[in-house]
Amino acid sequence: MAGCCNHDTKFDGLSSDYKRRLWLVIAINAIMFAVEMGAGHMARSQALQADALDFLGDALTYGISLAVIGASVRVRTNAALFKAVSLLVMGLWVMGSTLYRVFYVGVPEAQIMGVIGFMALVANLTSVALLVRYKDGDANVRSVWLCSRNDAIGNVAVMLAAAGVWGSTSGWPDLLVAGIMGGLFLSSAMQIFRQAVDERRALTQPVT
């Protein structure tokens, strides 16, 4: 689900075919960020906006991971720290704006939520299809694959929220799903931060 995606994607020795597919996945994620964020504003849906941020986070993660191929551990832990900070900012923004909505409740547009949620699902399934050939490769490749698959589950949650909003004519299902996604952003930020700090500490420790 949202924010699930592991930062630990250190691509090494990639085939040009895999790189091409990865660039396609990055483009899909970037485009879906823009589409879903715009639609989220139009529909006044917190869940859509949170899901959009997950696309942005993934596009950045894969892009940075590709960029730091072969770089030193220090550079790679810096990239991880950047990812942790951006997840933290995303999580705080989602939690804050969702909390605001709790007190100024409006009913989001369920139809837009459902349609865009479905588009996001198709985008993530397309990414899964692009990467499926490499899913049994090394752990890093596997984590990208698992990430797109888990995001597809998040898209289904957005569609369920749309159905809930439509059925109850209230904004609560939207806020609930957005709150869960915001919480996942924050918990992955903490995990990534802790792991990066550990790796950094291992660098400075003398060999015994």
For Zn ion, the nearest residue by Cβ is 5
Residues that bind Zn ion (CB under 5 A): 5, 54, 58, 151
Work out how close the CB of 135 gets to Zn ion at its nearest, in angstroms, rounded to a whole number: 16
Q: Which is nearer to Zn ion, 36 or 54 (CB)?
A: 54
- In 7-138, alpha helices (H): 16-43, 46-67, 73-103, 110-131
CA distance 45 to 90: 16
Work out how close the CB of 155 gets to Zn ion at its nearest, in angstroms, rounded to a whole number: 10
151, 4 Cβ separation under 8 angstroms: yes
CA distance 117 to 169: 18
Spatial neighbors of 151 by CB under 8 A, at least 6 apart, are 1, 2, 4, 5, 54, 55, 58, 124
Q: Which is nearer to Zn ion, 5 or 181 (CB)?
A: 5
Q: Which is nearer to Zn ion, 58 or 109 (CB)?
A: 58
The helix (run of H) or strand (run of E) holding residue 180 is: helix 172-204
Work out how close the CB of 72 gets to Zn ion at its nearest, in angstroms, rounded to a whole number: 26
Q: Which is nearer to Zn ion, 36 or 58 (CB)?
A: 58
Q: Which is nearer to Zn ion, 48 or 110 (CB)?
A: 48
Work out how close the CB of 147 gets to Zn ion at its nearest, in angstroms, rounded to a whole number: 5
Work out how close the CB of 37 gets to Zn ion at its nearest, in angstroms, rounded to a whole number: 15
43, 116 Cβ separation under 8 angstroms: yes
CA dist 41 → 35, 79, 106, 207 (Å): 10, 30, 13, 53
Work out how close the CB of 44 gets to Zn ion at its nearest, in angstroms, rounded to a whole number: 23
Q: Which is nearer to Zn ion, 51 or 109 (CB)?
A: 51
